[in-house]
Structure 1
């Protein structure tokens, strides 16, 4: 009858609209696939330049050794040619001094100021040594090293201008490094008398040149690298 025919047509329509069952084909690689020739070729990479990082590491090591050695020379000059009191302040262990000051019952502002002042004096020879080493490096770059590119060839006046700009930049960065190392040490002792002092000093020492670069860029007087 008519009702049965309609039911069969509806059933056939629903059957036609059913989505096909999705299949997931699996293909396993052979166990020894890693030893195949194609796999070895695919794993090849462009050669990595290890020489340049190695040379840069050697330069950094040589620079650090030069800074430490120069500081030791300055320490001996200070012992021989300045008063005993001044030499004692320049060679003082700032971390131990911070620990002793913490036992004196100072107020927080006074304690912070005293630690920052002591760190400034004790860190001065290290910053001076850094300035000397970096200045010697700039002398080599500006006057001794042969440029790799012909476009970098300058006459003597231009070399002097470039050298003066770089020494100016080195001086500014070292000055900021000394100031921020002292500030960092003064703030660090609020966390710990000893560890806070040297951690703050290290962080300030690194932050100082960065702050100097940012400030002078804002003033449109960018510092030389």
Structure 2
């Protein structure tokens, strides 16, 4: 087998795992199946990922990085938090939801698998902490670069963003309807913008709310 740098090999195996997970589901995905998909021996796979948990964790991290990349590339954060929410979620939906139901189903399966597997519950918690963390960082960067403040903590805003979009995704996966889903997404975006209550950092509200 030709030599391959560890970082390249890791990416190759994570990509193979994502393919198997999307096709077979989490419960039926084994290290042996991923090794076959990646064209490596089981021993090579286990050298990089000694356990299924570590492999699933790497897959989740890869998905989080993909989401972060879409959000980062979708907008100029200097345009402010409202613009970031509106454009970022629209881009996220078009790239990672509308045409990738298998990706979304895989993520839900990763969550339920972890919650139903004794000793793996922390993986589900970590998964959603990573989702919320990347959204919080993205929102805070957009507000900070535009000299804005948010009406609620960025961590709380991020959790509401994740929860709201998560619900829309589940509905879309169960009953795909592009038109309805886009209308609902637009409604959620307006709700989130209202919740954020974005205002210039130098503005101080008086007792009368002015």
Q: Normalising by structure 2, report the TM-score.
A: 0.29
Larger Rg: 1
TM-score of the two chains, using structure 1 as the length reference: 0.27
